[in-house]
Amino acid sequence: MPRSLFLPDLFWTHDMATGRNAAVDREDVDAWERAACSNIPLVTQWDDGRHSGTAPGAVPTSSSSMPSVVAAMLRDLDVREGTRVLEVGTGTGWNAALLAHRLGASNVVSVEIDGAVVESARTALKAAGLDAEVVHADGRDGWAPGAPYDRVVVTAGVREFSPHWLRQARPGGVVLAPWGTHYSDQDALVRLTVAEDGHARGPFLRMVEFMKLRAQRLDWNRFREYVPSFPGDADVSAGSLALADLGDRYRAARFVAGLGVPDCAHVVNPTGDGTGRVWFFDLASRSWAAAEFREPGAPALVYQSGPRRLWAEVERVLTWWAEVGRPGVDRFGLTVAPDGATHAWLDDPATGPLAFG
Ligand SMILES: C[S@@+](CC[C@H](N)C(=O)[O-])C[C@H]1O[C@@H](n2cnc3c(N)ncnc32)[C@H](O)[C@@H]1O
């Protein structure tokens, strides 16, 4: 099921390392084919379709995911003849086509929030001879008319779990989703099994990064107003962690800090030599913290303002994580209650919510 059948004439290659995007037009046949066959994500829409032209827009809002990630998620989904699947986030329709090819089109329903994206995916699926149902709706509601499903696969980043996905899956069914906190843009792929009591539990498999569900994107610009003058009224103290201790993209330290410091976003401004400034912003109050790393490998000078001591919370969680042996993401797991409330655990769901210290 060639990916190229599902791509528009114009897309943007996305370099995961640098974050750079480059336009590729079908008029350049070789470049277009090469990109279509490459193991890279391809952005197919910017700014919910409000953007035009070849220059990249502000926010990528639809894409064809990286083929190796698509393949790994299909393996994780563990489908076989007759398995009934709900996909949330149709995008180009390529993943729905792969599922429909394997399971029969009548066993696949895919929900997409963007009308223009829905139309392109329907056209491509039809041209490929696969009549999987593509529904134009908010995938947070799932798609009740097609339930129950054996599998629910979400191909957009989730910050708040939808109770509908759990309710529409059969007991014993699987919900596979990239989930994370607002601490960073990265997600961890979680594979939940739905129990008879309506709860779903399962391990995180590995780090990934998806564009977020439309209503769950974080507007990073909002933090500009948090610190009208620096350092203002902030308390100043000495930290005990080095910049490297905070982790990096796709590293467990960063993910675990997000689990243990809820409702907090962080922004890293590194200089490249182990120094730099890291900002922490509370999503509810105007609390903020800034850690200034002036010497490579040395602890920071820390500024904290507002009722929440965000840096102290981060230090506490990462100190706990070091004390328990720096477990990887795949030793953590998630329990989702029937109302969508989540808590993370380490190794064993029966141990209950983590206290992080
Ligand atoms: C990474 S793309 C999906 C890639 C796709 N599965 C493929 O094979 O090309 C994420 C998609 O999720 C869609 N999306 C975002 N929020 C959504 C929502 N609430 N419900 C349904 N789709 C949503 C976006 O419009 C975008 O097309």
The answer to whether residues 125 and 187 belong to one domain is: yes
Q: Which atom of ligand 1 is nearest to the CA of 215?
A: 19
The answer to whether residues 85 and 191 belong to one domain is: yes
Q: Is the CB of 117 under 6 A from ligand 1?
A: yes
The answer to whether 4 is a known catalytic residue is: no
Contacts 24+ apart (CB under 8 A), 245-254: 245/318, 246/278, 246/314, 246/318, 249/184, 249/186, 249/209, 250/186, 250/207, 250/209, 251/207, 252/321, 252/326, 252/327, 252/328, 252/329, 253/318, 253/321, 253/326, 254/183, 254/184, 254/186
How far is Cα 342 from Cα 161, in angstroms, rounded to an integer? 8
Is there a domain that residue 343 lies in?
no
How far is Cα 66 from Cα 69, in angstroms, rounded to an integer? 5
Residues 106-128: tens digit of each pLDDT: 999 999 999 999 999 999 999 99
How far is Cα 247 from Cα 264, in angstroms, rounded to an integer? 16
For residues 317 and 254, the answer to whether their CB atoms sit within 8 Å is no
Q: What CATH number does residue 89 fall under? A: 3.40.50.150
Three-class DSSP category at 187: strand
Longest CA–CA separation in the chain, Å: 64
Give me ligand 1 centre to Cα 281, in Å: 28
Low-confidence ranges of the chain (pLDDT < 50): none
Q: Which atom of ligand 1 is nearest to the CA of 41?
A: 1
The pLDDT of residue 179 is 98
* Average pLDDT taken over every residue of the chain: 96
Of 234, 235, 173, 222, which is closest to residue 200 (Cα–Cα)? 173
The answer to whether residues 74 and 190 belong to one domain is: yes
Structure tokens at 64: 């064809």
Residues 236-295: tens digit of each pLDDT: 999 999 999 999 888 999 999 999 999 999 999 988 888 999 999 999 999 999 999 999
Instruction: Give, using CA atoms, the residue closest to atom 20 of ligand 1.
Output: 139
Q: Is the CB of 92 under 6 A from ligand 1?
A: yes
The answer to whether residues 76 and 207 belong to one domain is: yes
- Using CB atoms within 10 A of its CB, is residue 217 exposed (0-12), middle (13-18) or buried (19+)? middle
Q: Is the CB of 202 under 6 A from ligand 1?
A: no
Q: Is the CB of 287 under 6 A from ligand 1?
A: no
Catalytic option among 65, 110, 287, 305: 65
How far is Cα 302 from Cα 278, in angstroms, rounded to an integer? 10
The pLDDT of residue 333 is 98
The pLDDT of residue 357 is 82
Domain count across the chain: 3
The pLDDT of residue 271 is 83
Instruction: Give, using CA atoms, the residue closest to atom 3 of ligand 1.
Output: 91
Q: Is the CB of 14 under 6 A from ligand 1?
A: no
The answer to whether residues 22 and 129 belong to one domain is: no
Beta strands at 133-136 and 108-112: parallel, antiparallel or unpaired: parallel
How far is Cα 92 from Cα 211, in angstroms, rounded to an integer? 14
The model's pTM is: 0.97
The pLDDT of residue 230 is 93
**Domain membership of residue 160 as a residue range:** 67-216
The pLDDT of residue 19 is 87
The answer to whether residues 7 and 44 belong to one domain is: yes
Residue-by-residue DSSP string for 239-270: -S--GGGG--TT-HHHHHHHHHSTTEEEEEEE
The answer to whether residues 155 and 209 belong to one domain is: yes
Give me ligand 1 centre to Cα 111, in Å: 8
Q: Is the CB of 91 under 6 A from ligand 1?
A: yes
Instruction: Give, using CA atoms, the residue closest to atom 17 of ligand 1.
Output: 213
For residues 261 and 316, the answer to whether their CB atoms sit within 8 Å is no
The answer to whether residues 71 and 203 belong to one domain is: yes
Residues 175-193: tens digit of each pLDDT: 999 999 999 999 999 999 9
Which residues have a Cβ under 8 Å from the Cβ of 24 and sit 6 or more positions away? 10, 11, 12, 13, 31, 32, 35, 42
The answer to whether residues 48 and 138 belong to one domain is: no
Q: Is the CB of 120 under 6 A from ligand 1?
A: no
The answer to whether residues 250 and 314 belong to one domain is: yes
For residues 320 and 356, the answer to whether their CB atoms sit within 8 Å is yes
Give me ligand 1 centre to Cα 211, in Å: 8
